[in-house]
Structure 1
């Protein structure tokens, strides 16, 4: 096909419009997951979460999004089978965009956190089946992707439980939880930074020239960042947190002392600090609340990394097919040899952020409040485990579902925490979880069917 062929210009224009609409849906449904636990635990307001997501989702999309977008646009199907049929492949990618966008917006309307990764993969398979049957499907890549759908929530859930168990054993169950927490705080900050810097720099962003860093360079950067953050945390964060928590406890104690003489005032004081009367008399719950305060800023930090990882992974769901259409148009070939354009990744990142601001609160409420009760310690564990899983997959070029990772972590943490504590308020809403599972199951065939139908319409009405 000729370069910049007028035959596919309308597909490019429509592709830009639909991909922005899809990115909007990804932001409304998927981006809200990254900060769902932070908002649910009360560490951040939804507005604060949107501001942080705007910065770090876009950064992740630009710096890390190229690798997974390569898998989405030419890894699921063998594009070589469409040589000489460039217009057909462009129409197929447009069908995938529309099919995925329709399903994502429908799920968002019903406040269900579904996988945008499932959606775009299902849509791509759907148009391919309609266009060429099973010819051209890359079964090896598909098998890896399908396996990751089951492995990723399991990995995220297990790592979340391990992190939470370590926090409970080493800090919450210690004789002096606050002292143990303050001792552990710089170590936790340092390890969190190490893991995330390592995953970002290892085969990292081409834009920052990190793709060719030697292994010892990667570890040198990661260890340096870890030591620096650990020292700064010890010098500045620990004294600040100690003063803040002790001041808060002193204020709470004063209110409770007054409450012993005046029952009505005690009720008001208890509601003010969001702890019921029974909890005020329970030293264990008091110590847990104290430790949770230590994790307020840590949870914000982990949410930032989760958001960055999500931007790197899921921008491809909205922009991968558009990049394929654009490269067919500019190269006149289905092979798409050039790298994913940074400006298109930025375009997708902006669309996701707008979707979060406009409609993100719907799914955020489901993830942050309705599945289970979330505290800063559980939220931190969920976010770190999900970020590690998603970033690892991004480095391998595997488009996994960040939704599955986060929901898997929330459910695992909520269930285990509830069993340990024997506290019914911390257990999982299993009926809601079942509804989410059903939506996950339906996602692939629903998006695939919509895409296949559109491809059949294009095939018999527009192709030569």
Structure 2
């Protein structure tokens, strides 16, 4: 009888422990989705407190603290939405794991922002609105605050629904909307807006054309050669050298300017020398790597893996240099106007402002990045290492040139445009090969044109959704910004 009693007690205890375990698992399941927002809120609060301490007790300290908090919020959203364009192709091609991609991107993004992220900020903060048309520094501060809040909210919404929109579009639209609300249509520098708008159209087309061109080169000179390995040994070092030359030139012009000013001609020579050096290093590496490989396309995918990772890293550096302006441009303008009461002179970028932008982008990438990395990497079109290398190289070159010129172009447009360029080139190439092969088949074995057309290599639903999101971003951000500006000024 005592044995039965003891057994029943153990059964009751096991049942209670099982219930406790289920409760703990349920709590962990519920708490996990709250972890990332909690960390984000902590970072935003820390940014605001740090700004309050660094800015001191001067007039406008509370405004600067609030602006720093919203700048951190915007930077987190950039990391969640925009950075997917850099690492998405590498992850989609299985050249990097999700964790590896996030770690590499976080380091490269921060380095790009801190080393070479100053030039574009002046275009974001001042080039869109003519400061002379704004009546007082307070009005200018509230306009920049409205732009910061509206763009952050819009990008947050887009990330939540899974749309890779342009954070650059969001900020530019926000600045424009607040400027119109503050001083009318005349406040907007329409010539600058026209140049920026033109770059929005040109950059994705250019990115797509360059990516398609590289893919055509790889197919013609490597993939369709009788001896694929020998062709790869000849051409892959050249492609990697082109990438290295472009990056070195960009770094010489922008990244080293705080130490020494380098003229364009010298920077081009540095890029050429770097390209030749990388070519000399890559030639023996490719030869060793390709020893014993079978003469097939699968071997080429292996050879392109490491260059793809390197090109994606370069792209993340360029993105950090270009897109940190989206987070800290309006914040830098607010800090300058609050500190000096002058909003018409050149804006200097405090180091702590750049740090908020750089670390915010990294936090956003770690906490919220995987969703859109998967979208860009695998859901638009199928990528392998060769196609993804073309996307990353094309996007890196285009972003570097745009940042070099001081234009706040959208890295989203460039990278996604490159993905579409690769996909549509594959469709065109597939259609061309289908026509040739179909002509050689007996009539009864020919594939119907409707059946062939049905096998699209680019998902049209994603294409239309993304283009629609691109179109609506600027007016939506502008409308939100104008509304927020009216609300802010009504209570001040």
Q: Return the offset for 1:366.
A: 0.8
Residue 268 of structure 2 is matched in structure 1 by: 219
In the alignment, does 2:400 pair up with 1:391? yes
Aligned pair count reads 417
Any idea what the Cα deviations from partners look like across 1:57-106, whole Å, max 9, x if unmatched? Answer: 111112222111110011101112236x1111111111111100111010
In the alignment, does 2:447 pair up with 1:438? no
TM-score normalised per structure 2: 0.81
Q: 1:38 touches 1:300 (CA, 8 Å); kept in 2?
A: yes
Call closer, same or farther: CA 1:57–1:414 in 2, change over 3 Å: same
Q: Return the offset for 1:5.
A: 8.2
In the alignment, does 2:178 pair up with 1:130? no
Distance 2:86 2:455 in 1: 23
Q: 1:415 touches 1:426 (CA, 8 Å); kept in 2?
A: no
Distance 1:149 1:7 in 2: 39
In the alignment, does 2:250 pair up with 1:241? no
**4+ runs of 1 displaced by more than 4 Å?**
3-7, 422-426
Any idea what the Cα deviations from partners look like across 1:283-337, whole Å, max 9, x if unmatched? Answer: xxx7222222211111111101111111111111111000001111222211243
Distance 1:216 1:385 in 2: 23
Q: 1:64 touches 1:394 (CA, 8 Å); kept in 2?
A: no
Larger Rg: 2
Q: Secondary structure at the match of 1:135?
A: helix
Out of 313, 319, 327, the residue aligned to residue 336 of structure 2 is 327
Q: Secondary structure at the match of 2:369?
A: helix
Q: Secondary structure at the match of 1:213?
A: coil
Residue 443 of structure 2 is matched in structure 1 by: none
Q: Return the offset for 1:382.
A: 0.9
Residue 274 of structure 1 is matched in structure 2 by: none
Q: Secondary structure at the match of 2:257?
A: coil
Distance 2:386 2:456 in 1: 13
In the TM superposition, 1:38-57 aligns within 5 A as 38-57=90-109
Q: 2:134 touches 2:182 (CA, 8 Å); kept in 1?
A: no
Residue 16 of structure 1 is matched in structure 2 by: 68
Distance 1:322 1:39 in 2: 33
Any idea what the Cα deviations from partners look like across 1:319-362, whole Å, max 9, x if unmatched? Answer: 10000011112222112434322332222011001001100011
Structure 2 unmatched ranges of 5 or more: 1-54, 432-451
Q: Secondary structure at the match of 1:372?
A: coil
Residue 147 of structure 2 is matched in structure 1 by: 96
Residue 164 of structure 2 is matched in structure 1 by: 113
Out of 194, 199, 215, the residue aligned to residue 245 of structure 2 is 194
Distance 1:242 1:453 in 2: 60
Distance 1:319 1:219 in 2: 30
Structure 1 unmatched ranges of 5 or more: 250-285
Distance 1:32 1:145 in 2: 23
Q: Secondary structure at the match of 2:118?
A: helix
Distance 1:7 1:207 in 2: 30
Residue 370 of structure 2 is matched in structure 1 by: 361
In the alignment, does 2:416 pair up with 1:411? no
Residue 489 of structure 2 is matched in structure 1 by: 459
Q: Secondary structure at the match of 2:348?
A: coil
Q: 1:4 touches 1:330 (CA, 8 Å); kept in 2?
A: no
